[in-house]
Structure 1
Amino acid sequence: MSSRYARQETLWGTSTQQRLRASTVAVIGAGGLGSPALLYLAGAGVGRILLFDDDLVSLSNLHRQVIHSTATVGQPKTESAAAALNALNPECTVEQFSRLTPDTALAQLRGADLIIDGTDNFYSRHLASWAAHELGIPHVWASLLGYDAQLTVFHSGHGPVYEDLFPTDPQVPSCSQAGVMGPVVGVAGSALAVEALKLLTGIGTPLIGTLGYYDSLAGTWEYIPVRAGGATPARPDNPTDVREIPEDATLIDVRTAPERATSLIPGSQHLPLDEILAGHNPPLNSEDLAVLYCASGLRSAQAVEALRARGFSNVYSLRGGIDAWQEHISELETEAAAAHRGDLETISLEELEAECGVED
């Protein structure tokens, strides 16, 4: 018995520990939910982790994304998380992927025993649901807002799938809009790891067909039965990434007028979602390229669906919405400031004197 795993091997024995060593877990998202899940899975002795995230470590997220540190701000989250996991348990192999897409998902996830969904947007959740359905593996999911969290295990053919619980995407604000308490994210992320370990080891009863609801202010968990409704996860379309908006695309803001008054993407047009759903069309030809955006990508995806049904074949939703755009601008400003500091650090005394007009 290895001293590293001695306390948990006492619970489930050497053969179960060896099963963990031979297991592969895919974790989508190295943020608030993924952070504790990753740490506990690597610490428990999971042999291989497939880690997906295309974001950078941000200072404003450290209060809940505990796998990262101030020293890794600006680094890719996958690199920061992989380094932390290697420091915790070098016996765990971590494979890094910048992004999961419909074109690559099945090949990259093949061989995983389950998917942990630590994402914060509906597109990625539908993608995880579709991939889990196609591969026949469990989809361990949690979401949170403010002081509350939800948790369940989806498993196509054995219980509900994500689309059974959410036939249409709910209109809820993102964490950046509504705020979130860090420890609540930690509770939910740790619970994700518990469900994963139950599935991998065969102990206990996974939350298949049961939704756990955590109210942190009351300190209570409530469990709600969820039934399979016959939904079949569909392959989602690729949204447009903020870094890849074509120069010739028309940008259309589908938020409300008060939202647009607070912030907007320069050069964008305005057509609120409720007007689109009421039948109003943007001033485009049916083949014109347009990228629609909202706060987080939810309403723009609805608008795209409505417009495509009316023959606009070349309209797309901006992944992450204006939140992603603002984060991208912040990243560019940070990179520019870092580059400027680097220039100052390497400037010679003579160059500095010349720059400042200093004479002998």
Structure 2
Amino acid sequence: MYEKEFVSSLTPKQLHYLKNARVGVIGGGVIVELLQRWYFKEIRVLDVVVELNHIYMDTFFKKEDLGRFATYKPLTEKICIKVRKMPDTVDEFKHELRGVDLVIGFCNQRRAAIATRELGIPFITAGLITTFLPDGMRFEEVDIPDPIILNPSLTSMMRSIQSFEAVKLLTGIGHPLFAPDAIKIDLLNYELKRVRLDHI
């Protein structure tokens, strides 16, 4: 089903909620562009300045972005995109993520996961993709390292799945994955594997 057809199949109530939702994103790039297509009201990006490896691993970044924060042009005047420096501590993450409805992770996942739990909001992980709910299993109870991205195809697929998990979570459609269930991407064999997270 094409994305446009899917969006039009949402009920007015689901679309209304999506268009009023605020999402925090750890690490920017192509995921910001994906989230815009779902009409999120606010996309709050916590990121670092663009380095050469970002350009090779994420199709969004361009050479002119090197050495500075990437800039994003909102698709419509109803979408707000804010870019902030990547926090160093849990308290700084909490400060930057106040008021969002959920957070999509990438790097610094442990600190971000603790911050989101303390704020009472869901956290969608990277690498192994799942959602940690504030009152569910704790991120610290399982072994999820920050993802090692080796190619742009993997980045794009992972970020696409994360963005769709956010849509499912906020609209109530489909079956979002919750920890300890997770998705592992196997590009070599063209598989999305459903796995169980290992306890530490």
Residue 22 of structure 1: how far off its partner (Å): 0.8
Partner of 1:137 in structure 2? 121
What's the counterpart of residue 204 of structure 1?
174
Other-structure match for 1:45: 39
Q: 1:15 aligns with which of 2, 13, 16?
A: 13
| 1:162 counterpart residue number | 139
Q: Return the offset for 1:185.
A: 1.2
1:69 counterpart residue number:
62
- CA–CA distance in structure 1, aligned partners of residues 30 and 171 of structure 2: 19
* SS of the residue 1:104 aligns to: helix
CA displacement at 1:46 relative to structure 2: 0.2
Look up the match of 2:82. Answer: 95
Query: Secondary structure of 2:90's match?
Result: coil
Equivalent residue number for residue 104 of structure 1 = 92
Task: Report the residue type matching 1:195 in the other structure.
Answer: E
The answer for the alignment partner of 1:152 in structure 2 is 130
Deviation at 1:36, TM superposition (A): 2.8
Q: Which has the higher contact order (CA 8 A, sep 6+)?
A: 2
SS at structure 2 position matched to 1:60: helix
Distance 1:71 1:164 in 2: 41
Matched-pair contact (CA < 8 Å) for 1:47–1:93? yes
1:60 aligns with 2:31: no
Show the 5 A alignment for 1:257-336. none
Separation in 1, partners of 2:176, 2:157:
17
The reply to whether residue 185 of structure 1 matches residue 155 of structure 2 is yes
* Post-superposition offset of 1:75: 2.1
| SS of alignment partner, residue 49 of structure 1 | strand
Report if aligned partners of 2:59, 2:152 keep a CA contact under 8 Å in 1.
no
Give the secondary-structure state (helix, strand or coil) at the position aligned to 1:198.
helix
Please give the per-residue CA displacement for 1:73-100, whole angstroms capped at 9, x wherever unaligned. Answer: 22213xx2x33xx2x3442101221122
1:43 touches 1:89 (CA, 8 Å); kept in 2? no
Amino acid of the structure 1 residue aligned with 2:104 = I
Q: Which amino acid aligns with 1:92?
A: I
Secondary structure, counterpart of 2:161 in structure 1: helix
Match of 1:296 in 2: none
What is the number of equivalent residue pairs in this alignment? 196
Quick check: 1:214–1:222 contact (8 Å CA) kept in 2?
yes
Q: What is residue 117 of structure 1 aligned with on the other side?
A: 105
Equivalent AA in structure 2 for residue 161 of structure 1? R
User: How does the TM-score come out when normalised to structure 1?
Assistant: 0.50
Q: Which residue of 1 aligns with 2:30?
A: 36
1:42 & 1:195 partners in 2: Cα distance? 15
Task: Give the 3 Å change call, closer, same or farther, for CA 19–225 of structure 1 in structure 2.
Answer: same
CA distance in 2, matches of 1:39, 1:203: 21
CA distance in 2 between counterparts of 1:106 and 1:204 reads 29
Q: Cα distance 1:15–1:65, how it changes in 2: closer, same or farther (>3 A)?
A: same
1:103 offset after TM fit, Å?
A: 3.1
Structure 1 residue 224 displacement after superposition? 1.8
- Cα distance in 1 for partners of 2:22, 2:65 equals 26
Give the Å deviation of 1:226: 4.1
User: SS in structure 1 opposite 2:113?
Assistant: helix
Structure 2 residue runs of 5 or longer lacking an equivalent are none
Distance 1:180 1:50, change over 3 A: same
Match of 2:193 in 1: 222
**Aligned-partner SS, 1:132:** helix
Higher CA-based Rg: 1
1-structure distance, mates of 2:45, 2:54: 18
Q: SS at the partner of 1:222?
A: strand
**TM-score under structure 2 length normalisation:** 0.86
Secondary structure of residue in 2 paired with 1:27:
strand
Give the superposed CA RMSD.
2.4
State yes or no: 1:27 paired with 2:22.
no
